[in-house]
Amino acid sequence: MTIAKAAAIGGGVIGAGWVARLLLNGIDVAIYDPDPEASRKVGEVMKGARRAYKKMLPEGLPKEGKLTFAKTIAEAVKDADFIQESVPERLDLKHKVLAEIDTHAPANSIVGSSTSGIKPTDMQVAMKKHPERLVVGHPFNPVYLLPLVEIVGGEQTFPEAIEVAKEIYASIGMKPVVIRKEIEAFVGDRLLEAAWREALWLVKDGICTVEELDDIMRYSFGIRWAQMGMFQVYRVAGGEAGMRHFMAQFGPCLKWPWTKLMDVPEFNDELVDLIAMQSDEQSDKWSIRELEKIRDDNLVAIMEALSRQNKGKGWGAGELYNDYTKQLSKLASKKAKPALKSKAAKSATKAKAEKPVKKVTAKKSAAKPAKKAGKKKG
């Protein structure tokens, strides 16, 4: 399942990240964002993304999709088969935007929401025509580089919509993981939230500064988690005795007072000041743009390094990186690059015209009652 025409509603850091990933996959995107600065901001993200993709594909990028700025949501979604919503995390706003998308988008389109925490069941109530096509498709920043997308269906989401969404996200180089039960914040942000809350306590209590905490992460378990998650890491740490033994050993610690379990730190000016000040000390020698470049270079280098592991097959995000860069290279060889001479460009254009464009057939899901229609995804 590939995307013929995409729409992005919202062009903040996340929305613009989606736009960049889609365009760099050669997909045309219509974006709607009421911010008068939207064009400049999306342009900045696009510049960063293009730079990162050039590192991934030194032989050349696919011809970029065309970006158009729509004046209304209706205009942006009217001929899109995939729509990604990335507006701020307020339920009333999500309702307003999703209702409008639902009214104007083709019936067979798939609607993904970038929300990092709101349940799809609570959002799709605003979609009077086709609530069954809404999924949460929660990405991680920078969207154009990090592959994970958490897919969550709501009570009204059709199982087929989830299947189509999985294929769509995979078609643009992502790793879709379908969350089995609908809960707020899903899985990634639950873990992040737990660590973040503990981190705020540690800084507030003066145990460490933000820079020290960051170093503690990136010189230890951060490197581990780039390649194995915590369960597999602990399995290995358990050694020959196995996971059951490891768990039995670790179990009692859960009762120890090793986290500030019962409390949320008061989020007052004092704490914000402390963290903002320490963050400046850590990082104000770089501008945000410089840090973005450093981050992107690092992420590409890590994925590239992992792509050469496991006897060249790649490991984790590196295995996916192999597939993705191969796919993009193939696309690049089919399509004209701006720098190509006219003759090459002509044949490339011809190739593009011949490329079969598969339509996303969400209509099947939307129109035909699914076997488990209306049932929450298991």
Give, as ranges, the residues between 187 and 206 that touch its own copies (CB under 8 A): 187-200, 202, 205-206
Closer residue to its own copies in complex, CB, 305/370: 305
- Among the residue ranges 124-132, 144-152, 332-340, 363-371, the one whose residues contact its own copies (CB under 8 A): 144-152
CA atoms of 174 and 139, how far apart (whole Å): 9
Tokens for 190, please give them.
Answer: 């639950």
Tokens for 155, please give them.
Answer: 């009570």
CB atoms within 10 A of CB 160: 22
Closest CA to 126 of 163, 154, 96: 96
Closer residue to its own copies in complex, CB, 243/345: 243
Residues 89/138, Cβ–Cβ less than 8 Å: no
Q: Can you tell me which of 34, 68, 107, 222 binds its own copies, judged by CB under 8 A?
A: 222
CB 115 to its own copies: min, Å: 12
**Residue 271 burial (CB < 10 Å; 0-12/13-18/19+)?**
middle
**50-89: which residues touch its own copies (CB under 8 A)?**
none
- Among the residue ranges 27-35, 163-171, 260-268, 359-367, the one whose residues contact its own copies (CB under 8 A): 260-268
Q: Can you tell me which of 35, 68, 72, 223 binds its own copies, judged by CB under 8 A?
A: 223
- Among the residue ranges 161-169, 280-288, 325-333, 368-376, the one whose residues contact its own copies (CB under 8 A): 280-288
CA atoms of 271 and 147, how far apart (whole Å): 33
Strand-pair category, 134-139 with 110-113: parallel
Q: Is 36 in the site for its own copies (CB under 8 A)?
A: no
**AA identity, residue 334:** K
**234-253: which residues touch its own copies (CB under 8 A)?**
235-240, 242-244, 247-248, 250-253
CB 110 to its own copies: min, Å: 21
Q: 3-state SS string over 340-376?
A: CCHHHHHHHHHHHHHCCCCCCCHHHHHHCCCCCCCCC
CB 16 to its own copies: min, Å: 10
Q: Can you tell me which of 35, 59, 280, 323 binds its own copies, judged by CB under 8 A?
A: 280
Q: Can you tell me which of 51, 125, 265, 329 binds its own copies, judged by CB under 8 A?
A: 265
Q: Can you tell me which of 39, 121, 171, 227 binds its own copies, judged by CB under 8 A?
A: 227
Residues 29/45, Cβ–Cβ less than 8 Å: no
Closer residue to its own copies in complex, CB, 312/338: 312
Q: Can you tell me which of 4, 13, 345, 370 binds its own copies, judged by CB under 8 A?
A: 13
Tokens for 331, please give them.
Answer: 């696309």
Strand-pair category, 175-178 with 110-113: unpaired
CA atoms of 277 and 291, how far apart (whole Å): 17
Q: Can you tell me which of 232, 327, 349, 361 binds its own copies, judged by CB under 8 A?
A: 232
Query: Would you call 211 helix, strand, or coil by DSSP?
Result: helix
Q: Is 140 in the site for its own copies (CB under 8 A)?
A: yes
Closer residue to its own copies in complex, CB, 217/340: 217
- Among the residue ranges 91-99, 161-169, 229-237, 326-334, the one whose residues contact its own copies (CB under 8 A): 229-237
CA atoms of 205 and 209, how far apart (whole Å): 10
Tokens for 339, please give them.
Answer: 């720098």
Q: Is 367 in the site for its own copies (CB under 8 A)?
A: no
CB 273 to its own copies: min, Å: 8
CB 233 to its own copies: min, Å: 8
- Among the residue ranges 105-113, 163-171, 269-277, 353-361, the one whose residues contact its own copies (CB under 8 A): 269-277
CA atoms of 9 and 299, how far apart (whole Å): 26
Q: Is 270 in the site for its own copies (CB under 8 A)?
A: no
Q: Is 301 in the site for its own copies (CB under 8 A)?
A: yes
**302-361: which residues touch its own copies (CB under 8 A)?**
302-306, 308-310, 315-317, 320
Burial track 16-33 (b if 16+ CB lie within 10 A, e otherwise): bbbbbbbbbbbbbbbbbb
What is the per-residue DSSP string for 319-335? HHHHHHHHHHHHHHHHS
